[in-house]
Structure formats: C-alpha cells, structure tokens
Chain A
Amino acid sequence: AQSVAQPEDQVNVAEGNPLTVKCTYSVSGNPYLFWYVQYPNRGLQFLLKYITGDNLVKGSYGFEAEFNKSQTSFHLKKPSALVSDSALYFCAVSLYNTDKLIFGTGTRLQVFP
C-alpha cells in the first residue's frame, strides 16, 4: 500500500535561516509527489509537485523540493525562512493510474522572529 511519512510533527527555525521539512514515501510504481500548505481554518494551498523530469522542483513563495528516488524522499526546503511561512505543511503522493492523493500527517512549521 502506498503511504507518505512526515517524521517531524513540528519544525522550529529562526527567521532568515534555511528550513527543511521532511517527507518520505512508499509506493509501487512511479510516484507523483506534492507539497501543500494550510493556514488555520483554511483549505490547502498548492506549493509544488513532482511528476517527472528534473529532480529539483521550484514552487511558490520561494519553496523548492528535491525528489530522491534512491532515498524515496521529497523534502521541502527554503533558503531563508519568513515568519509568515509559519503554517501546517502536508506532503502527498498519488500514483499515475489513480486520482487519489494520500497525505502525510503534516508538519507544523514555526518560524521565530
């Protein structure tokens, strides 16, 4: 069965420092990988996705993620964190032959001034 793991419930980082939010996946077949961000009492906003092609994917708001097939990871990164980046981040995976998105448990990012 396909699954997504986000090993950290919370990540704390100082403003201006680089941030990483980790995601690993387990699927049979080629994965389609996504990152979304959620602010309180809101739906999910799309950040970026990996379907095929370059392993380094650049997305919205300065975020990027690297697809690593050997480590089955898709970590989200940003070179310089902002306080406004504080939110709940979800990694998700889908298979090419299904429409379903399977979500990780989410990681709360807290950026301190």
Chain B
Amino acid sequence: GAVVSQHPSWVICKSGTSVKIECRSLDFQATTMFWYRQFPKQSLMLMATSNEGSKATYEQGVEKDKFLINHASLTLSTLTVTSAHPEDSSFYICSATDRVDYGYTFGSGTRLTVV
C-alpha cells in the first residue's frame, strides 16, 4: 500500500531557531500534500495544502511566514517552522494523496518541542 515517510519523528529545538520537517511519498506520486497540527487530546487542524510546483494554500489564521511549506517534487514536501517559540510545540502530521481512489495516506507525525 501507499506509504508516507515523515522525518524527524521528534525534535527539540531552542527558541528562535528554525526546524524543517520532511514528508515523502515512497511509492506513489503525491499531487497534493497536507500539513496538520494536533494539540494534545484534540483533533487535527489543517494548516495548509500544497500542490507540486505551486505555492501552498494556507488555512485562515495560519501564519505563512512562520510555517514555510515547499512542495518541490511529486514525492517531497517540507514544512519549516521559522523562529520557533514554545507555543509552536505540537504534533505535526503530513498527509498525501495522488487523487486516485480518493486515498489519503498519513505520515507518522513529528513531535516538536521548543525550549
């Protein structure tokens, strides 16, 4: 089946630094990738949608300058949290679809802790 690899699975960084999270579709071409944020004991909040080769579409309230998304190829999307602060600490999950059979495959998530 379709597999999405997300790295790193966890990261600790200092306030003010930037962190990059990678999301790769291993065995299919992901025309669209999604980035979600999940707070403890809460649902997934869609942050942005990215299509290969074009700018990401951000959901209302998500700071595009803080959460930089790049979808440079059909198998790779990255999320960079810039100038991270403790309130950015969260669980980030990516998802990818090839628009075939309405399938969405999720990465295993990244636990970001900003200290």
Determine if chain A interacts with chain B: yes
Number of interface residues of A (CB under 8 A): 21
Within 8 A of A (CB), among B62-115: 91, 93, 95, 97, 99, 102-109, 111
- Let me know if B102 and A100 touch, CB within 8 A: no
CB-based nearest A residue for B33: A99
- Let me know if B102 and A32 touch, CB within 8 A: yes
The main secondary structure of chain B at its interface with chain A is: strand
- Is B12 located at the chain interface by the 8 A CB criterion? no
- Inter-chain contact total with CB atoms closer than 8 Å: 49
Size range of the chain B interface in the assembly = 20 to 34
The listed residue (B32, B44, B106) touching A99 by CB distance below 8 A is: B32
The answer for the CA separation of A44 and B103 in the assembled complex, in Å, is 13
The answer for the CA separation of A46 and B96 in the assembled complex, in Å, is 13
Given contacts A44-B93, A100-B34, contact A106 B105 (CB under 8 A): no
Residue interface bits B41-57, CB-to-A below 8 A is 1, else 0: 01110100100000000
**A49: which B residues are within 8 A, CB to CB?**
102
- B residues within 8 Å of A by Cβ? 4, 6, 32, 34, 42-44, 46, 49, 91, 93, 95, 97, 99, 102-109, 111
7 residue pairs, one from A and one from B, having the closest CB atoms: A43-B106, A44-B106, A43-B108, A105-B43, A43-B109, A103-B44, A103-B43
